[in-house]
Amino acid sequence: MNANGPLAGRHVVVTGTVQTGMQRKDAEARVEEAGGTNLKSLTKKCDLVVVGDVGAGKKKIEEAEEKNVVMIDGATFLRICAGEEEVPPPTQAA
């Protein structure tokens, strides 16, 4: 784990296939390489949901919306992991 990586201190849920050829386990490995911690479900600790391009769980997306958790697509996830983009700020509760 990279304590200074772009996802350092973040708790991340990955749902679906992030991009062609990158399965969830590969995306989860990227989360850890970037300093983040993987979660299997949306808990109070969850900071970020990566919504894959294929097979994203509808229930997880709905739950993230209800909990005002930041959601990003696969392309944004890869740019963040590469240090090319910042993690979006938390969504404010309505």
As a whole number of Å, the end-to-end CA separation of the chain is 34
**Which domains are present in the chain?**
11-81 (3.40.50.10190)
Three-state DSSP class for residue 62:
helix
What angle do the packed helices 74-81 and 24-33 form, to 10 degrees?
30
Cβ 22 vs Cβ 53: under 8 Å? no
Q: Is this structure's pTM higher than 0.75? A: yes
How many C-beta neighbours within 10 Å does residue 55 have? Answer: 10
Q: What is the mean pLDDT of residues 51-70?
A: 87
More confident residue, 94 or 16: 16
- When computed from its CA atoms, the radius of gyration of the chain, rounded to whole angstroms, is 12
Average pLDDT over residues 11-33: 87
